[in-house]
Amino acid sequence: MPLPTASLSTQLLDIDGQRIIGINYSQLRALCRISGLRDGDISGSSEEAHEEFMNSYQRIFLRPKKTMPAIPLGQVGNISHAPQRPKAIESQTYQKRNRSQPRGKQTQEMLFNHAIKALKKIPIERSQQDLQAIHKMLKMFPCLTTQLAKPELHKVSSIAIIETWDRGQIVFGHNGFFLILKGSVKPYTHEAPKEDQKTPAIGVGGIFGSFEPPHSEANSIITQYALTLEPCEILKISHSGYAKLKKEILAQDYAMKESLIQGCQYYLDWPKLSIDHLAKLIQLKTFPANQVLVKEGKVCSFVAYIREGECTILQDIGSLINPAKKKGGGIKFVVVGKLGCLESFGEVSILEEQPSPCTIVTATEVQAGIIPPEALRGLDSVTISLMLQTAQPTCGKISQEEINKKYMRQEKSKEWDHIKKQVLSDALFYNGIQQGCGKWTMNRGPRKTADKCKLSMFPFS
């Protein structure tokens, strides 16, 4: 049965309130082949054909497919009918939840978790970041910072391990140092029966055991152990690992002292035996900037081998003219030299008990190895004679004329620097620029000519 062509366009636009995007011609041809269907003008169709046509004629119209909400893969068995929250809202909620907790507490928890994961690794598999995380965590416990030196605390992160214990197990403390990171234990000793001991339980941050093996006498009297009251994670530093660590630190420290002495120009050709004698006496010390190490006219208080930093050598300009100065008079110094890395001073002054001809002041922070006078004089005669032969005075003999010339050059340089600074400051101030007061500003009026543009600092000029 042909459809009226005049009304086809309107029917395609809106049939039963639904939008139509086209016609399915295969379905249309199937409808036309229904048996018993006739043209209404010639003869009527049978009731069966008419009913079949009315039930299936909607199939010839193409409609847009409806997009149904999809279920993500892996979540078919756990369907939630609640509306999904946008990611932006979730991130804002997460940020608000994080802001509600102190930032320091979050960082501390993250560091603690990272350190525990690193401790569960084999020491040889730990990365540099793992060692740093362990070191930062260990610094949080005063029981470690008070018993270990800084180099030991830094190195102990490479030998420490973590042990996991269940409830009701016994941990013997005679073979290492133990720090509780999770859970609690009750310590016991063999001095008294287990029932008679009323020691309190120790929790996170508690310790038992020791870094070094106990003495033979104490070992026969007391041996400490602990009973776990709940599942525990305990950090352990074994006696053997700590002893090996101490040997490595001492060897590195001794090698550094040897290289410090050998690097100085007066000790390049010294035999190793004599250098060993000096290396055993050296003590490392750090001096702040602008500290007087040696005073002119006095014996040096120590021999110093500079490892890092710089010192200035000063000499009193009037020391050769007026040895006895008036009390309260001003002292003028002239810079006659500098001491840098891998240089030494004080050997001749101490061994020959000669007053120092100059003053030595630290120009920057200085790290140096020092030897006290008592230890230096206690050396064998061969080492002392060798030091007197090779060492030279820190400041040689300088005539008064040379001192005066140096002083004049120094004062002229200071005066010239002052003039340059003053001229620059005046030029900046004239242009409306003041140091430390931010950027200079100009009136933001209409830009007619350059002469009318005035500085805001001089509104009445």
Per the structure, the count of domains in the chain is: 4
If asked whether residues 389 and 430 sit together in one domain, one would say: no
Whether 259 maps to a domain, the answer reads no
pLDDT at 286: 94
If asked whether residues 38 and 162 sit together in one domain, one would say: no
pLDDT at 111: 85
Pairing mode of beta strands 333-339, 344-345: unpaired
Last residue of a domain, one of 244, 277, 308: 244
If asked whether residues 390 and 448 sit together in one domain, one would say: no
Asked if residue 162 lies in contact with residue 238, where contact means CB atoms within 8 angstroms, the answer is no
Q: Which portions of the chain are predicted below pLDDT 70?
A: 1-18, 39-44, 66-106, 190-198, 215-223, 318-331, 396-401, 403-404, 407, 432-461
If asked whether residues 412 and 337 sit together in one domain, one would say: no
Asked if residue 357 lies in contact with residue 393, where contact means CB atoms within 8 angstroms, the answer is yes
Whether 258 maps to a domain, the answer reads no
pLDDT at 33: 79
pLDDT at 310: 94
Where on the phi/psi map is residue 410: left (φ > 0), alpha (ψ -120 to 50), or beta?
alpha
Q: In what order do the strands lie in the sheet with 344-345?
A: 283-287, 366-371, 303-308, 344-345
If asked whether residues 277 and 362 sit together in one domain, one would say: yes
Whether 169 maps to a domain, the answer reads yes
* Cα 234 to Cα 225: distance, rounded to the nearest angstrom: 13
Bridge partners (DSSP) listed for residue 176: 238
Domain span at 221: 105-244
If asked whether residues 382 and 454 sit together in one domain, one would say: no
If asked whether residues 283 and 409 sit together in one domain, one would say: no
If asked whether residues 300 and 414 sit together in one domain, one would say: no
If asked whether residues 121 and 211 sit together in one domain, one would say: yes
What's the predicted TM-score (pTM) here? 0.58
Whether 294 maps to a domain, the answer reads yes
* Cα 424 to Cα 419: distance, rounded to the nearest angstrom: 8
pLDDT at 47: 80
If asked whether residues 363 and 429 sit together in one domain, one would say: no
pLDDT at 67: 61
pLDDT at 257: 94
* Cα 40 to Cα 34: distance, rounded to the nearest angstrom: 15
If asked whether residues 408 and 392 sit together in one domain, one would say: no
pLDDT at 255: 94
Residue 16: how many other CB atoms lie within 10 Å: 8
